């Protein structure tokens, strides 16, 4: 692996009952494949028993066709090693209009987490979801549950460049 890079967002509000959000979206450069190494999501606002929610999320990949995404913020592609260059992918965080594709959009990893305790995942090398820059491919992490209450999330995704 060439390097591991971080894309993160800090204290972004996701409104109640607003539907799916893309926490992260990654669009690799041509001939610069990437893989999702780790994912951390946390919430600072909904911490009491009465606000506890289990929410669904998925890691998706689209390939082929025309890829469009929504109104998130530009993310960083910051190396974990200060000797590495910036990652060769473009990222977006907290998009309230989830990505779509005229090609194939596949939900690859689907699970739930408790927003009170957060989500911490590090995938072993053989289980990492990979995405090449060829054929208009991209991948991301999607919140699949409309929240009962507004929540303030922070998150970091670790992306490996191969």
Ramachandran class of 19: left when φ > 0, alpha when ψ lies in -120 to 50, beta otherwise: left
pTM: 0.90
**pLDDT (0 to 100) of residue 52:** 79
Strand 73-74 relative to strand 89-95: parallel, antiparallel, unpaired?
Answer: antiparallel
Q: Could you list the pLDDT tens digit for every one of the 162 residues in the chain?
A: 579 999 999 999 998 888 788 999 998 988 889 999 999 999 988 666 666 789 999 999 988 766 666 677 778 788 888 888 888 888 899 988 887 777 788 899 999 999 888 999 999 999 999 998 776 788 999 999 889 888 999 999 999 987
- Could you tell me the fold of the domain covering 3-161? Jelly Rolls (2.60.120)
Beta bridge partners of 100: 68
Domain boundaries, the chain: 3-161
Measured CA to CA, the distance from residue 94 to residue 73 in angstroms comes to 7
B/e letters for 97-131, b = 16+ CB within 10 Å, e = fewer, are ebbebebebeeebeeebebeeebebebeeeebbeb
């Amino acid at each position: 692996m060439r390097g591991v890079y971080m894309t993160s967002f800090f204290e972004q509000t996701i409104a109640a009952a607003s539907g799916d959000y893309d926490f992260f979206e990654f669009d690799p450069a041509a001939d610069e494949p990437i893989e999702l190494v780790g994912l951390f999501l946390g919430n600072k606002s909904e911490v009491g028993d009465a606000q506890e929610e289990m929410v669904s999320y998925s890691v998706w990949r689209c390939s082929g066709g025309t890829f469009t995404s929504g109104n998130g913020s530009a993310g960083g592609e910051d190396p974990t090693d200060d000797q590495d260059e910036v990652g060769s992918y473009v990222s977006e965080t907290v998009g309230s209009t989830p990505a779509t594709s005229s090609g194939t959009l596949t939900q690859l990893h689907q699970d739930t987490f408790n927003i009170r305790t957060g989500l911490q995942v590090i995938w072993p090398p053989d289980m990492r979801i990979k995405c090449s820059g060829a054929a208009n491919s991209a991948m991301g992490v999607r919140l699949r549950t409309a929240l009962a209450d507004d929540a303030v999330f922070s998150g970091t995704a670790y992306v490996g460049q191969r």
